[in-house]
Amino acid sequence: MEVSVLDSLAKGQMEEKCVICDEQKNKGIHLYTSFICMDCERDIIITDTSDPKYKYYLTKLKKITTPEIFS
């Protein structure tokens, strides 16, 4: 019983927009205030630096900035 409740809660998670693929996903990581889906995270990790996709990922990742801290 508990498993089905937890499963339904997990499926009801709010989706977020990935900064790499621009798709709405519900699983991934947060880097500062940006969200990277699990699929893109995996692709970034396995992409060789000589692959043309690597430059694409770098361009997308440059959008992510450190949030300012006001004190």
> Sorting pLDDT into bands at 50, 70 and 90, what band is 6?
very low
Residue the block writes with tokens 């995270």: 41
Does a structural domain hold residue 66? Answer: no
Percent of the chain beyond pLDDT 90? Answer: 63
Side chain identity at 4, as an amino acid letter? S
Q: What is the pTM of this model?
A: 0.73
pLDDT of residue 66: 82
For the chain, the domain total comes to: 1
Does a structural domain hold residue 23? Answer: yes
Does a structural domain hold residue 46? Answer: yes
Does a structural domain hold residue 44? Answer: yes
Has residue 28 got a pLDDT over 90?
yes
First and final CA of the chain: distance in angstroms? 47
45-68 in b/e form (b: 16+ CB < 10 A) is eeeeeeeeeeeebeebeeeeeeee
Domain encompassing residue 31: 2-61
CA geometry: angle 37, 39, 44, nearest 5 deg: 95
Greatest C-alpha distance within the chain: 49
